């Protein structure tokens, strides 16, 4: 069995990320098409619940009336289930959703269940690059800073990586910036000792 997580989490979904208001999301149709291209036997199930009169419903309610849906995605015999609340157009939970709101919640839930397999997980982590790719980029940038031997070469390294640094997550950006400052301070101290 291939490593589904390794395959899907490494794919850069940034070109497919769409924005609605202030929120980023992946199209369910694109995400499912990509999964099926890689894993033709993948399946998903939209869960059906029963109300207190035994009617089948595509959603459930908690004791406060908030509504949720659930979807399970199975890829190569590995199943991940996600529960997602039904929301309005402001991403606020609704207690009496209409059919359109339930349908949208099911599609969002599908994409999140796919993310548990790796595809687009970085979108939900607030990142804009696949996790492994960002880690590789961060390590490469830090190596360049550490290998600089002069103040001029470390400044050149910063300029050459500036665009990539701008794309990093906040935590990675802080890590890279700290490494740059430490390496530059060390080079300054060495230069002052030899002067």
Q: Residue 145 and residue 116: Cα distance in Å, rounded?
A: 34
The total of other beta-carbon atoms located within 10 Å of residue 3's CB is 10
Asked if residues 69 and 102 have their Cβ atoms less than 8 Å apart, the reply is yes
* 125 band by pLDDT with thresholds 50, 70 and 90: low
Residue 62 makes CB contacts below 8 A (sequence gap 6+) with: 68
> What is residue 133's predicted lDDT score, i.e. its pLDDT?
45
Whether 33 has a pLDDT exceeding 80, the answer reads: yes
Instruction: Kindly list the distances between the CA atom of residue 160 and the CA atoms of 4, 134, 141, 156, 157, in Å, as whole numbers in the listed order.
Output: 34, 17, 9, 6, 5
Whether 1 has a pLDDT exceeding 60, the answer reads: no
| Average confidence score pLDDT of the chain | 85
Max distance between CA atoms of the chain, in angstroms, equals 86
Residue 153 makes CB contacts below 8 A (sequence gap 6+) with: none
Highest mean pLDDT among 18-27, 68-77, 118-127: 68-77
> What is residue 134's predicted lDDT score, i.e. its pLDDT?
52
* 107 band by pLDDT with thresholds 50, 70 and 90: very high
Q: Residue 130 and residue 163: Cα distance in Å, rounded?
A: 17
Asked if residues 47 and 71 have their Cβ atoms less than 8 Å apart, the reply is yes
Q: Which residue has the higher pLDDT, 109 or 142?
A: 109
The least confident of 15-29, 96-110, 129-143, 158-172 is 129-143
Percent of the chain with pLDDT over 90: 39
Asked if residues 188 and 149 have their Cβ atoms less than 8 Å apart, the reply is no
Domain ranges in the chain are: 4-124, 131-194
Q: Residue 173 and residue 160: Cα distance in Å, rounded?
A: 15
- CATH of span 4-124: 3.30.390.80
């Amino acid at each position: 069995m291939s490593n589904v997580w390794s395959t899907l989490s490494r794919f850069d979904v940034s070109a497919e990320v769409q924005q609605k208001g202030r929120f980023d999301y992946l199209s369910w149709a694109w995400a499912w098409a990509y999964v099926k291209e890689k894993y033709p036997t993948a399946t998903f199930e939209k869960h059906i619940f029963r109300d207190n009169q035994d009617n089948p419903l595509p959603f459930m309610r908690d004791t406060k009336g908030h509504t949720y849906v659930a979807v399970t995605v199975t890829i190569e015999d590995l199943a991940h289930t996600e529960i997602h609340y039904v929301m309005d157009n402001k991403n606020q939970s609704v207690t009496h959703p209409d059919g359109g709101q339930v349908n949208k919640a099911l599609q969002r839930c599908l994409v999140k269940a796919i993310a548990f397999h790796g595809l687009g997980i970085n979108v939900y982590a607030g990142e804009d690059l696949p996790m492994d790719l960002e880690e590789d980029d961060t390590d490469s940038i830090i190596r360049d800073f550490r290998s600089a031997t002069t103040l001029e070469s470390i400044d050149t390294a910063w300029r050459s990586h500036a665009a990539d640094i701008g794309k990093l997550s906040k935590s990675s950006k802080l890590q890279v910036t700290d490494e740059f400052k430490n390496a530059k301070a060390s080079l300054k101290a060495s230069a002052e000792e030899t002067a």
